[in-house]
């Protein structure tokens, strides 16, 4: 998969408190690493949606990430709430993650990120439109 990085997104992370900036930079790299492992002719585009770092592919569902002042001890990966993504993550991974309804995986600033499981969730999102009709998204 070809990856189109957006320097403005990368630079925007410096607007966050340092610990948050590091966490979001880690998630950003995890999205890129996961996308690079997907055998596809598609393009992963990094951009802003609703003022948040966003990652999209033609056959996938957009992933966004952000930190909010109102919840300073957490940051999140957001998924389209009109998909089966987060419900599938809950079924596959249960208590491995904390969830925000049917639209987010939420991390505490001090949480250890379960990398293998999160990469699987990212992969499912980046390929969603190819797998959306499969049981458990083909997991």
Cβ count within 10 A of residue 81: 12
Model pLDDT for residues 14-25, shown as the tens digit of each residue:
999 999 999 999
Question: Is residue 99 left, alpha or beta, with left meaning phi > 0 and alpha meaning psi from -120 to 50?
Answer: beta
Tell me the pTM.
0.95
Total count of domains within the chain: 1
CATH classification at residue 51: 3.90.1150
pLDDT at 103: 96
Cβ count within 10 A of residue 105: 28
Domain that holds residue 132: 2-138
């Amino acid at each position: 998969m070809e990856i189109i990085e957006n320097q403005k997104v990368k630079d925007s992370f410096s607007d966050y408190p340092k610990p948050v900036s590091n966490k979001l930079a880690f998630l950003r790299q995890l999205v890129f690493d996961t996308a690079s492992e997907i055998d596809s002719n598609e393009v992963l585009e990094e951009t802003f949606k609703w003022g948040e770092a966003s990652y999209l592919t033609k056959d996938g569902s957009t992933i966004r990430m952000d930190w909010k002042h109102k919840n300073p001890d957490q940051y999140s990966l957001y998924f389209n709430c009109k998909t089966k993504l987060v419900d599938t993550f809950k079924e596959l991974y249960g208590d491995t993650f904390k969830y925000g309804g049917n639209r987010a995986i939420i991390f505490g600033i001090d949480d250890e990120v379960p990398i293998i499981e999160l990469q699987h969730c990212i992969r499912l999102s980046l390929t969603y439109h190819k797998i959306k009709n499969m049981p458990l998204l083909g997991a």
